[in-house]
Amino acid sequence: MIGGTDHGAVDPFLHRRRIIVCVGAGGVGKTTLAASMAVKAAREGRRVVCLTIDPARRLADSLGVGNERGTDGIADVTSILGPAAHPQGRLSFGMLDTKQAFAEVIRQRASSQAVMERIFHNRLYRYVSGSLSGLQEYMALEKLCAIADDPNVELIVLDTPPTANAIDFFTAPQRMVEALDGKLVRLMRRAYGHAGRFGIDLVGRWAQVIFRTIGRIAGVELVGEMVDFVDALSDLFGGFGIRARQVEQVLTSEEVAFFLVTTPDRATLRETREFRHRLHQLGLMVDGVIFNRAHHPQAPPPPDIVDSDIAGEMERINREWNSAFNQERVMIDRVRDAWDGLEAVTIVPLLAEGATRVDSLDQIGNYL
């Protein structure tokens, strides 16, 4: 059986979970699978937001949407479902703009107009909003949490970066804590006085030397701006440590399902296995595996009416195809038997046409 194997299908998760997270290596069709899930759920009557942080616009292309987006970065694309869709179904698409998302969080969370202006007018803001390590991933998670708080949204399908960058994505809250609420920053805030002097009685002698050196190189004024900026951001989030734990709680809640998308070949499966282990170390449990672009069931022999030379070539092609099919099934069965905790192991076959149109996404959705 090719789609929705006897070990469980994806479809039930689209109705009983609030967030579906698609993870996997690059080039396995993860973005297309995320789009297919979102389209399928919307067709069946759910109000869905499909969210990506991929700047290459692959998800937007898969859904066939242009550049139109609302002020919150979300565009209603329900019209692509056509008249046959469930009347209550809604489909929206969001592609993260890091700077816009960061500015939105500042406007919403600043405790006062003065704090908001301190952040926007600080000369470090432009650098931080575009270059701080982990900010893009963190803002994507902030956006995810904001959408999850919207009672009008029933399902969020999140398309994540490839495995090479996905761990950075899931560890972004802790990395932001280390960057903006870590030991060095706390020492700086304790050591630097508003009068431009370092607090000798507050920190150790080694820290005094370091901060005085930074002040000589960068200028005391810039160091003061750094401290002021960090103070303002701490007010904004109520402490990055607290906010990071809230974001992590969203990812680890029972409303979230993680699906690993892979192709049934040894190299990709090896990377997928390692990635699953890393996710488990972070406390993120994989609910299912989707094997994409698998070979169809065994090809039948050529009919007797075919020319013998053509029949011979067809038999050779069939042998190669059937051999690949059998090898894939062995690998899939091994994963199904060896990986504990999987509720779904689903196979999506290699399609004749590229899945860039909604009808192709529907075809993939039928296998889920």
Q: Is the dihedral of CA 51, 52, 57, 63 positive or negative?
A: negative
What is the predicted pLDDT for the residue at 212? 52
Cα angle 343-251-169, degrees, rounded to a multiple of 5 = 110
Q: Where are the domains of the chain?
A: 14-176+241-365, 182-238
Q: Is the dihedral of CA 102, 107, 108, 112 positive or negative?
A: positive
Contacts (Cβ under 8 Å, ≥6 apart) of 270: none
Length in residues, the chain: 368
Q: Rounded to whole angstroms, what are the CA distances from 243 to 87, 172, 253?
A: 37, 12, 15
What's the one-letter identity of residue 237? F
Please compute Rg for the chain using Cα positions.
25
Q: Per CATH, the architecture of 14-176+241-365 is what?
A: 3-Layer(aba) Sandwich (3.40)
- pLDDT confidence band for 319 (50 / 70 / 90): confident
Model confidence pLDDT, tens digit, residues 69-103 = 555 678 888 888 887 778 888 998 887 777 777 78
CB atoms within 10 A of CB 160: 24
Model confidence pLDDT, tens digit, residues 253-309 = 889 999 999 999 888 888 888 889 888 888 888 999 999 999 887 767 767 666 777
Cα angle 43-48-54, degrees, rounded to a multiple of 5 = 115
Model confidence pLDDT, tens digit, residues 202-248 = 444 444 444 454 444 444 455 566 667 776 776 666 666 677 777 77
